[in-house]
Structure 1
Amino acid sequence: MVSIRPLGLQLAHIDHGYTIGGAFTPVLDEISLTIAPGEFVALLGPSGCGKSTLLRLIAGLETPRSGTILADGISITGPGPDRIVMFQDPTLYPWRTVRGNVALGRDIAGRKDPEAVEAAIELVGLKGFERAWPHQLSGGMAQRAALARALVNDPRLLILDEPLGKLDSLTRLTMQAELLRLWRDRGFTAIMVTHDVEEALLLATRIVVFSPRPARIVGDLTIDLPPHRHRDDPRLLALRRDILVQLGHSADW
């Protein structure tokens, strides 16, 4: 894997929605956001508000109804190898081993590089499981394989759509630490959707809070805390309270 130049994003006046049963349903409303190269940005908001839709637009999987999305000043018109998505489900191909799944993107692009594949597998802690099949992996190991498949392509932007949402609590803690380590070591820009306020506070350098659908930005917080954070840090607890208030849960604090 090579040295990475992280990607910067500029979103301006994004409106988006879907036509369902002949009626238009707005999902995103006037979203404007600038993300600096190398930031780790967490997106928080009510379920179904449009966070994952915004990730799909950034990935180039959909085109906004109006507004512009630029990556280093260039309009995003479709998927690109500099922007890699990691979903909640690992989506490993059952007929490919761990090595085969990690190598998939490079194989399709005709960029076979066994050394890079092996390095990615070792990077996520799966050395020794190269020949394992997906059904032989735990949930956490499967997500590690999916992460290696993303990292082997040297993404400048890693797009994370609740990648830890289905893991048990202890495995999730381990994977949070792994994501943070890889982001710091590799230097890519990261955007993550999560419903876990604490997870966002532990990982992100910045948290963007959205309203219910159609989503508007109602909060944008810089997390000025050291990378290795403790859950009982009074500053983190105060930020958690502020975010819950912005999400409409002041009575639950």
Structure 2
Amino acid sequence: MTTQQAGVNIEIDKVSHHFSLEGSDLPVLENISLQVRPGEFVALLGPSGCGKSTLLRLLAGLEQPASGVLAEEGRAIIAPHPSRVVVFQDPTLYPWRTVYDNVGLGLQIRGESKQAAQTRIDAMLQRVGLKEFARAWPHQLSGGMAQRAALARALVNHPRLLILDEPLGKLDSLTRLRMQQEIVDLWQEQRFTTLMVTHDVEEALVMANRVVVFSARPARVLDIIEVEQAYPRRRDDPQLVALRSRVLALLGAEQAAA
């Protein structure tokens, strides 16, 4: 594992946000503050619809918060940037490009040499189990295969900030476990900063350095849990099991209150 930290520092300072709904404001985020260290892996957990994905969109620069500041390396995030790569819940592959060409899109835009790009694309397709489907079209892929292609498209670009919005939710159980480990392996190799939304408590604890637990909408930070176990993590580790119970108790209490 390389010791070089390619990731960026992220600061979320008193961020609140709302949507306009039928002439009134619907609060989504409430006074969120969080510091993410360079090269850290942070998972975001919370009730469905609480605002986790909205926070990711703000971090990607796709929207601006109603109040507060989001900053990358001390600079306010006001627009998308190539250093920040997003993988959404849906694959969003371009239907007119093959799997290979979808994965290599970012490298092509940056002017990577054909030979260097081919080496990186082939290696990434191998890692996500799509080497044999390099020349396939998106409509020929299952939903899970398309999502693996979307992950490959993001990871092949060596991002400094990787933003994951439930990227593994459509995968079958065995593939999901394998992709969890592949993402962790790549993160350890490249040390990009990672923020991931998931509804799977065990997934968050197996993959992340810290787990941020949000309340129901409007999202507030209920707790930030440090996960100190070494990688690769065992799901039956007593300390992880205890943390899982702690998180589930928080979420259960929040759901009961809502």
2:8 matches 1:7: yes
Alignment deviations for residues 66-93 of structure 1 (CA, whole Å, 9 cap, x no partner): 1011101111110000100001121112
2:79 counterpart residue number: 78
2:113 counterpart residue number: 113
Q: 1:160 aligns with which of 161, 164, 168?
A: 164
Does structure 1 conserve the Cα–Cα contact (< 8 Å) formed by 2:107 and 2:117? no
1:56 counterpart residue number: 57
Structure 1 stretch displaced more, 36-45 or 171-180: 171-180
CA shift in 2, pair 1:158/1:77, >3 Å: same
Residue pairs, 1:1-253, within 5 angstroms: 5-107=6-108, 109=109, 111-114=111-114, 115-125=116-126, 126-248=130-252
Does structure 2 conserve the Cα–Cα contact (< 8 Å) formed by 1:241 and 1:250? no
Say what the alpha-carbon RMSD is for the aligned residues.
2.0
How many residues align structurally? 249
Letter in 1 for 2:205: L
Does structure 1 conserve the Cα–Cα contact (< 8 Å) formed by 2:6 and 2:160? yes
Residue 54 of structure 1 aligns to a residue in which SS? helix
Alignment deviations for residues 123-146 of structure 1 (CA, whole Å, 9 cap, x no partner): 342334321222333444322321
Does structure 1 conserve the Cα–Cα contact (< 8 Å) formed by 2:216 and 2:255? no
CA shift in 2, pair 1:33/1:151, >3 Å: same
Q: Which runs of 5+ in 1 are unaligned?
A: none
In the alignment, the residues of structure 1 paired with residue 195 and residue 134 of structure 2 have an alpha-carbon distance, to the nearest angstrom, of 28
CA shift in 2, pair 1:132/1:101, >3 Å: same
Letter in 1 for 2:85: I
Does structure 2 conserve the Cα–Cα contact (< 8 Å) formed by 1:244 and 1:250? no
Give the % identical residues: 57
CA shift in 2, pair 1:251/1:119, >3 Å: closer
Residue 239 of structure 1 aligns to a residue in which SS? helix
CA shift in 2, pair 1:76/1:41, >3 Å: same
Alignment deviations for residues 203-232 of structure 1 (CA, whole Å, 9 cap, x no partner): 011000000000000010110101111111
In the alignment, the residues of structure 1 paired with residue 253 and residue 70 of structure 2 have an alpha-carbon distance, to the nearest angstrom, of 31
CA shift in 2, pair 1:217/1:183, >3 Å: same
In the alignment, the residues of structure 1 paired with residue 254 and residue 49 of structure 2 have an alpha-carbon distance, to the nearest angstrom, of 20
Residue 238 of structure 1 aligns to a residue in which SS? helix
Q: Spell out structure 1 runs of 4+ moving beyond 4 A.
A: 249-252
Does structure 2 conserve the Cα–Cα contact (< 8 Å) formed by 1:124 and 1:147? no
Question: What is the CA distance between 1:117 and its match in structure 2?
Answer: 4.5
Does structure 1 conserve the Cα–Cα contact (< 8 Å) formed by 2:50 and 2:218? yes
Q: Which runs of 5+ in 2 are unaligned?
A: none
Letter in 1 for 2:86: V
